[in-house]
Structure 1
Amino acid sequence: MLLSRCTAGVALALVMLPAWAQTQTSCPTVLQGVARCYRGADANDANYWIAIPERWNHALVIHAHGGPRMSHATNDNNVEDLERFAVTVKQGYAWAGSAYRRPGYGVLMAAEDTDNLRKLFIQRFGEPARVILHGQSWGGNVAAKAIELYQTAPDGRRNYDGVILTSGMLAGGTLNYLHRADLRAVYQYYCKNHPRRDEPQYPLWMGLPGDSTMTSKDLEARTNECLGLNLSETERSPAQKRKLANILAVIAVPERSLQSHLNWATFTFRDLVKLVGGNPFDNRHVVYRGSDDDAALNRDVQRFDADPAAVARLAQESDLSGKIDVPVISMHAIDDPTALVEYETEYRARVTAAGRQGQLLQTFTREHEHSKLADAEYAGVFDSLMKWIDTGKRPDVTDVASACASEASHFSGGCHFEAGYRPMPLFSRVAPRSAQRTDIK
């Protein structure tokens, strides 16, 4: 049974709804007839969407979206995540998602905007019986940081009752991007067109110079020129095939997401480096392996040294302590092409080091996607977290799979949980740095 943290909250919500109707808007098609939707901007000009189902279970999901997006999200285009995770609203949860106050990298900023939306919801609609924090992709880093910063109110009460992290970038900023820094260096070794020889040169850890006018389409054209990603394998030249095979052998990302990783190592890096005030990436002593000539690659690849102050600022910005005091369930596709499943190993290590391992359940699915897994699986994870909160009994993966099976008649996609799976250490997939641990299991 769902117990209210504030019995007056539901009545307050009903009283305040008419006053809030002036900002009511049409729900996306997938939720029409299911919920009432609202949109607006908070005091920091962070746009947001809120959806409250007609049959509300009086639990609220505060959503942290992925990215980071490099362009400002208006309330005309800030509806993508509500549509993607409409399953939670159909289950009966109210849903609130912030677009954050500005585009670009900023975990602390996004975490604050996410928690501000929780406060705004309560101010406008009353206190829910339960509040669940959900982070997706980079938003997983945001939500994992937010629960460490905002899980407890000044009066000692919990702001959040539980957390769900899906496809999360959970190794923290100092580790999440190392393989992308490696990609910039290895790509340039083989392609030599980012930058070209006749263009101003810059250290690759910058992503791009601040005044560069390069667009994602410009970068895609260069990648296609060198690697033929827009061509079938039979249409690629021998040189393109060789370069692509070498890059994919050295950098452990799939071909289907190579362009996306290179985009992040370009445009996101420019923004991230500006935020932390220097280079947080180091490949000075990295030994790259898997190419058809490792000796030449390691001899001639561009090398760079991290600025310790920039590393420290990035760690403060986005690394995680693992100090969680509420139940947390993560779900990650084993073959996630974007957020390495091995990030989960790093997160588990930090939670364990903080002595909070009993508060974490990690689940893995036999899927090959990042942005959206099966609706029935999300429903099963939410059901399992709510039961954990209400009973105090930590579920196991088979319990989550059983909850998914119960929801599969209502929601699409089936259930693909792999109960026995445990990801390898991050540095079994990413080239180790001399100071990094390789023994986390």
Structure 2
Amino acid sequence: MDRNHGPRLAAGLVCMAALLAGCSDGGSDDRVSVGDDAPAQPDQPARVQDTRMFAVDEDELAFEALDGLPTERYTGVLDGAGYRIEVPENWNGLLVMYAHGYRGEGPKLTVDSPPIRQYLVSQGYAWAASSYSTNYYDVRTGVEDTNNLALNFADITGQMAPTKTYIMGVSMGGHVTAAAIEAETAANANHKVSYAAAMPACGVVGGGDTEFNYLLNFTFAAQHVADMGPTMFPNTDFDQQAIDAVLWETVPSFTEQGVPTEQGLELEDIVRQLSGGDRPVFEQGFRGGYYNVVMGTGGRDGTINGILARDFTSNTGFTYQFDADDDLSDAEQMFNDSILRVMADADANPLQPDGLRWLPNVNGQFSVPVVSLHGLGDLYVPFSNEQVYRRRAEANGNGDLLVQRAIRSAPHCDFTGTELVSGFQAMIDWEQNGTKPAGDDVLDADTVADENYGCQFTSETRDGVAACPTD
């Protein structure tokens, strides 16, 4: 049955700060050693995000039961965020929180049901999903609103509190998912939840620094290869149409692969190294429609569209390379010597006195099992996110808690239901039974470059992608 009720501590209109063990009683994880008190911060200028208004249309929150799967369904608004919750008749006492991806820049807040909803309900899992109370790339709000909904699950539904709570998310929701299990989040979040395990998919698991520096480096390199700057920052001389005329015989689209010019091939080589190195499916990703999505971020400043008050992105000290050889050729040296360099503001993203950073860190400091999935040709949130996540986890002694799976797909967040369910099952079996699942090595360059890399966990051959060998 549908039930539209629960705490309504704010109306659907909100102006707030704001481009995947069980539910706690509010205490932080005992294993976390990060201090609870945020350091004193320098005065911060006003953020554009603080002036924006967002609203939930409650009439659009309702959703129907799946055929043959009777459930209790709940919708409403909690602290300005819309939500959906579904509890099957045969609920197993476990709750899965789902974190959605980037919603763009409009004022309307919407909720997604998880992509593996049918599997979850059929197996007895309850799930809950928040719209978040803001749009734009507001990961702090995504974490807080997802946690807040988890903490209010019992009050909203009238059910018992879940025995364990898991979290999964895609794209920006993958950033929410990874940040939600961080020690820094456990210490500083206003709404604290101890998740039992996590599954980010196509996520910004390298954190905002990895993702947004990649977008800056990509668009700067495209402009520089085309001999069109950049000459300033913010990059107001960015002209994609003029750049494309130099780089492409046929410009990529979502329906047709692009055909690069000689200069376009040079950019392709640079982006290959930027995004994770030589690997299968990269070419399909670079020459596909998400090229235009990435280029659409060119010309912006470094505040992540007003999520921050100061510039966060930088290419200072970064080395652009045309190949995997660390020794720079004369052409590479000339490219690096001549491209514009910009420096991030050291105070762009500090811990806030009232809780998390505006753009929460992903430091690799977590204490629960994580199974992460990523497409090899994803150009928007590149595979390099997984490599950074692995290095950070290893540096913090958490490498044994991270399993990563490469999927041979090119579009952003292109997974089959089988691939997602397999990852989720692996996460659950690991957390509940101690059976660590298999994964892929994301750091060994020879392994990643092998023509069959990613075959182990790819369930379906995509159009335009080489098929994996069969037994």
Q: TM-score range by the shorter chain?
A: 0.5 to 0.7
1:279-323 CA-partner distances (Å, limit 9, x unpaired): 223324444343996566445433222222226579953322323
1:273–1:424 CA distance, 2 compared to 1 (3 A): farther
Paired position in structure 2 for 1:42:
78
Secondary structure, counterpart of 2:152 in structure 1: helix
- Counterparts of 1:307 and 1:24 in 2: how far apart (Å)? 41
Out of 295, 298, 307, the position equivalent to 1:262 is: 295
DSSP 3-state at the match of 1:308: coil
Q: 2:373·2:407 contact (CA, 8 Å) conserved in 1? A: yes
The CA deviation at 1:333 is: 2.9
Alpha-carbon deviation of 1:177? 2.1
Partner residue of 1:307 out of 338, 345, 349: 345
Contact preservation (8 Å) 2:219, 2:295: yes
- Structure 1 residues without counterparts, runs of 5 or longer: 7-21, 196-200, 398-418, 430-441
The alpha carbon displacement at 1:258 in A equals 1.2
1:84 offset after TM fit, Å? Answer: 6.6
Instruction: Return the alpha-carbon distance in structure 1 between the equivalents of residues 139 and 198 of structure 2.
Output: 17
* Change over 3 Å in CA distance of 1:23–1:258 after alignment to 2: closer
Is the counterpart of residue 370 in structure 1 residue 412 in structure 2? yes
Aligned to 2:121: 89
Task: State the secondary structure of the residue aligned to 1:95.
Answer: strand
| Higher helix content, 1 or 2 | 1
3-state secondary structure, aligned to 1:329: strand
* Greater CA drift, 101-110 or 312-321: 312-321
Distance 1:233 1:112 in 2: 40
Q: Secondary structure at the match of 2:306?
A: helix
Deviation, structure 1 residue 352: 2.6
Deviation at 1:328, TM superposition (A): 1.8
Q: Structure 1's 372 and 192: CA in aligned 2 closer, same or farther, altered over 3 A?
A: same
Matches within 5 A, 1:18-417: 26-27=62-63, 31-34=66-69, 35-43=71-79, 45-67=80-102, 69-75=104-110, 78-79=111-112, 81-83=113-115, 86-125=118-157, 126=159, 127-148=161-182, 159-190=194-225, 203=233, 206=234, 227=248, 228-229=250-251, 241-252=261-272, 254-256=286-288, 257-265=290-298, 271-272=303-304, 274-290=306-322, 294=332, 297-310=335-348, 316=357, 317-391=359-433, 393-397=434-438
Structure 2 CA distance for aligned equivalents of residues 207 and 54 of structure 1:
55
Give secondary structure in 1 for the equivalent of 2:267.
helix
TM-align CA RMSD: 4.1
TM-score of the superposed pair, with normalisation by structure 2: 0.64
SS in structure 1 of the partner of residue 394 of structure 2: helix
Q: Once the 2 structures are TM-superposed, how far is the Cα of residue 344 of structure 1 from its aligned partner? A: 1.9
CA distance change for structure 1 residues 225 and 94 in 2, over 3 Å: closer, same or farther? farther
Cα offset for 1:248?
Answer: 1.9
Counterpart-to-counterpart distance in 2, 1:234 and 1:5: 46
Task: After TM superposition, give the deviation of residue 225 of structure 1 in Å.
Answer: 5.3
Q: What CA distance in whole angstroms lies between the structure 2 residues aligned with 1:235 and 1:138?
A: 27
Question: Match of 1:62, SS?
Answer: strand
Amino acid of the residue matched to residue 292 of structure 2?
Answer: Q
Relative to 1, partners in 2 of residues 1:122 and 1:223: Cα closer, same or farther, differing over 3 Å? farther
Q: Distance in 2 between matches of 1:366 and 1:88?
A: 25
Does the Cα contact within 8 Å between 1:342 and 1:424 map onto a contact in 2?
A: no
**Alignment CA distance shift 1:26-1:311 (3 Å):** closer
Gap change, CA 1:378 and 1:304, over 3 Å in 2: same
CA distance in 2, matches of 1:383, 1:39: 27
Assess if the C-alpha contact under 8 Å between 1:36 and 1:51 holds in 2.
Answer: yes
Residues 137-187 of structure 1: CA deviation (Å, up to 9, x unaligned): 222221111122565999xx9632211121221111122222211122122
Shift of 1:62: 0.6
Tell me by how many angstroms 1:115 deviates.
0.5
Give the Å deviation of 1:37: 3.7
**CA separation of 1:63 and 1:105: change in aligned 2, threshold 3 A:** same
Tell me the matched-pair count.
362
Report the AA paired with residue 229 of structure 1: V
1:283–1:305 CA contact under 8 A, matched in 2 = yes
